[in-house]
Structure 1
Amino acid sequence: MKFRYKVLICNIILVAVAIAISGYLLIRYNYEMNLERAFTTALEENQLLLTTIESDVANRILQGDYESLADVDMIREELEQRLEGTQTEVYLQKAEELDEGSPFYNLTLSLEKGQKTYTIEENGGTYRLWCASILGIENSQIYIINVKDITEVYDSMGRQISFYRMVMIIAVAVCSVLMFFISMLLTRSIKTLAQVTGTMAGGDYSVRCHIRARDEIGELGAYFNKMAAAVEHHVAALKEENRRREDFVANFTHELKTPLTAVIGYSDMLRSKQMSEENIQIAADYIFSEGKRLEAMSMKLFDLILLGRTGIDQRRIYVPDLLESVEHTAAPIMEKRGVGLRVLPCGACIMGDRDLLKTVFINMLDNASKASRGRGTVNLGAFCKSGVVLIMVEDHGCGIPEEDLKKITEAFYMVDKSRSRKSGGAGLGLTLASKIIDLHGGRLKIVSQVEKGTRMMVYFKEAAQE
């Protein structure tokens, strides 16, 4: 059963019970008030009869008529004359005339002088209220009994119950209709959330719920959107990580297979064929160069694994000294490629591992000189501003397409694979550099335009002066 129907049924039951209880209490209160009013009226009539008879007896005593004091029939006739035209029934009965067969026996059994008693008798749907009191005249006792028809009290209660039952049915029906629409309105947000959850469970993590309520359901919707965004982010990250691993395995296999194929092929030629000294030298050179490339690739992979498992020992590094050391190592290689190097240092200090940072900028200069294609000058500069040190490598070479910028730091990723292999690259230099920069708490930013050049900028926090 849907939640909205559960809410509807519970509300209908609560409303019906509340109306029924309130109606019962109201009708019961009205019935008791009417009954109490009937009791009071009957007792007052009895008291009035008692007072009338006492007054009549007193008058007779004053007149000296002592013989008729105990004449019950005479007193009854006089009362009937006085009550003629009213609905009150009066019975006068001497105490000595009452026996167990008398209809007044049970009513007057425990009655004492000065007291009044009453009882209700039902006969064929008619309700009669019997009231009794006792009057002492000379040596005898006379019971004064008046009877009042209170059938209307019970009939009124029955009519009220029937009327209220009809009112309750109409009220519950109207409330049911209203509560149905109210429950639809209140649970609309829950239905929306359930639909969004079902869509998300089907694999669409981009879906969001749009709930504008400012209550707990609105807060739940907001938290759900935050959770969905986090899940979408993590799923995307996992997919991206899985893609990188698959690309890594595929590229590693390819990069390993290419030099091994050359090594196996040329070694097989040396083993199985008679070759001239010149061809033997060419084959040996191929085997040597491909072996060196495998060695370089294995060493860089080892460095990546080692960096992921161990920390770094950070020390104060004077930036001009770092750039001078990088220049001494990279300048000869770049000169052989016909590319110039210009260094622009700044007098700032950073914290880090000197050898690892030297590896970063040598790799960047190596890529820049390869991209320059034997012409132009590569700039290696440092700038300091507001506690931030920027070290930048800038070339004016072939540039990097925009779609490749996000993947340039992935392992084995090469923009121009043929040029990289020809120059001995394995696509691990920038991956290693990016890892080292992250370990130093730095930030790498690459800006490039095709056929205009590339600018690689590394940001570090400036070390405090000693």
Structure 2
Amino acid sequence: LEPPENGNRLVTVRKAKDNTYVIVAGKLPVPYDSYTLVYLYDTTEGISSWNHLKDMLFLVGFVLSVLLALGLLLVLNRIFQPLTQISQTSRDIANGEYETRLPVSGQDELSEMAQSFNHMAEEIQRQMTELKDAADKKQQFVDNFAHELRTPLTAIYGYAEYMQKAVLSEDDRLSALNYIMSESRRLQTIASQLLTMASLQNNPIDWEEQKVASLFEAVNQTLYGRLAGKEIQIEFNIEVETIWGDAALLESLLINLIDNGIKACEKGGHIIVSAVTEEGRKVITVKDNGKGMTPEILTQITEPFYRGEKSRSRSDGGAGLGLAICKQIVLSHHAEMSFNSRPGEGTTAKITFTTS
């Protein structure tokens, strides 16, 4: 190891077997410039410690990286889990599971978003339920309408064919003609009632102030003939002088309700028609002591073509549209109609007017 002549030192690393040495050589200054100083340092232990430290640092760094990755994964999962739930819930709702809701916990922005999503889901469920109910009612209406038409049309066709092919006496011919006329009148009644319902749904009514006494008197005169021989008493109680609405429609409403009471009552029956004020609103009630109805019937009596006692309604010539028309009349007056009834105790129909 000869150091350079310019006085610089020479540094080198040498390996000997398993050891590593650092060698520093340099010439001494004058007057000892004929001498060279050589320093040898064994760095084997230091290099070994450094390698060990590097391994430890790598291991610690790896462990910390894994922990940080796991922590970041948990944080991201915490952040994105609600979004994943929203996505899954949206797919469930799209597949028809309208009752599915998001879990709500905490008061942060994600919880507010979950609450808003649930409100939206509830509104969707409500609207879908309404659409389904409307579709079911429409289908039921079509089925019932077809059934109501089939019965008289079958009878008319049958009697017409009978008259065409059979040799009939004058009495039999007149009997068949009378039956054809009767069933034709039933079809005419159904058509007229359906047109009335359509008109009530699409056209506004004529609002006028009506005197309740005059309204009740007109209804009483109309029903007088139907009470002949039935031994049924009708009582009118008036505590309200006037009411707003269409006179003809209000008469039709009361006549239909009272007529139902007449049909439900036996001889000696009693019907009370009252016009009163309840909680600041005008109310008309029609109460009878007739047969009454079950809760199952009450929930359906205002549906078109529904009849609680089908045999009795058919014998009376009804098609099950009377209370459906009553419902439309009440709705057109922005009023509310409810029924309270028990089998054997009679029925009370209540119309509550929201306008004075």
Alignment correspondent of 2:305: 412
Q: Would the alpha carbon gap of residues 275 and 340 (structure 1) be closer, same or farther in structure 2, given more than 3 Å must change? A: farther
Alignment correspondent of 1:242: 135
* Residue ranges of structure 2 left out of the alignment (5+ in a row): 1-5, 14-21, 23-49
Alignment correspondent of 2:153: 260
Q: Which amino acid aligns with 2:108?
A: D
TM-superposed deviation, 1:329: 0.9
Aligned equivalents of 2:229, 2:165: Cα separation in 1:
37
Alignment correspondent of 2:191: 298
Q: Would the alpha carbon gap of residues 123 and 415 (structure 1) be closer, same or farther in structure 2, given more than 3 Å must change? A: farther
Alignment correspondent of 2:233: 340
Aligned equivalents of 1:276, 1:339: Cα separation in 2:
41
- 1:155-170 map, 5 Å: 168-170=61-63
1:383 to 255, 276, 279: 276
Q: Would the alpha carbon gap of residues 274 and 336 (structure 1) be closer, same or farther in structure 2, given more than 3 Å must change? A: farther
Greater share of helix residues, 1 or 2?
A: 1
Q: Would the alpha carbon gap of residues 261 and 307 (structure 1) be closer, same or farther in structure 2, given more than 3 Å must change? A: same
TM-superposed deviation, 1:267: 2.7
Q: Confirm whether residue 450 of structure 1 aligns to residue 337 of structure 2.
A: no
1:321 to 204, 210, 214: 214
Alignment correspondent of 2:75: 182
Q: Secondary structure at the match of 1:384?
A: strand
Q: Secondary structure at the match of 2:275?
A: strand
Aligned equivalents of 2:228, 2:325: Cα separation in 1:
24
Deviations 1:90-133 (A, max 9, x none): xxxxxxxxxxxx899xxxxxxxxxxxxxxxxx98799xxxxxxx
* Residue ranges of structure 1 left out of the alignment (5+ in a row): 1-101, 105-121, 127-157
Of stretches 235-244 and 280-289 in structure 1, the one that deviates more from structure 2 is 280-289
CA RMSD of aligned residues (A): 2.9
1:459 to 346, 352, 355: 352
- Contact 1:327 / 1:343 at 8 angstroms: preserved in 2? no
- 1:40-439 map, 5 Å: 168-439=61-332
TM-superposed deviation, 1:268: 2.8
Which TM-score applies when normalising by structure 1? 0.62
Aligned equivalents of 1:124, 1:351: Cα separation in 2:
116
Q: Which amino acid aligns with 2:197?
A: L
Aligned equivalents of 2:152, 2:83: Cα separation in 1:
61
Aligned equivalents of 2:269, 2:154: Cα separation in 1:
36
Aligned equivalents of 2:319, 2:195: Cα separation in 1:
14
Deviations 1:159-209 (A, max 9, x none): 9x9698776544333222223333334444344434433332332212222
Q: Which amino acid aligns with 2:137?
A: R
Aligned equivalents of 1:312, 1:433: Cα separation in 2:
14
- Contact 1:446 / 1:454 at 8 angstroms: preserved in 2? yes
Aligned equivalents of 2:11, 2:348: Cα separation in 1:
113
- Contact 2:334 / 2:355 at 8 angstroms: preserved in 1? no
Aligned equivalents of 2:87, 2:232: Cα separation in 1:
64
Deviations 1:394-426 (A, max 9, x none): 122222221222221111111111111110101
Q: Would the alpha carbon gap of residues 447 and 198 (structure 1) be closer, same or farther in structure 2, given more than 3 Å must change? A: same
Q: Which amino acid aligns with 2:105?
A: R
Over 6 Å off, 4+ runs: 122-126, 161-166
- Contact 1:444 / 1:458 at 8 angstroms: preserved in 2? yes
- Contact 1:395 / 1:453 at 8 angstroms: preserved in 2? yes
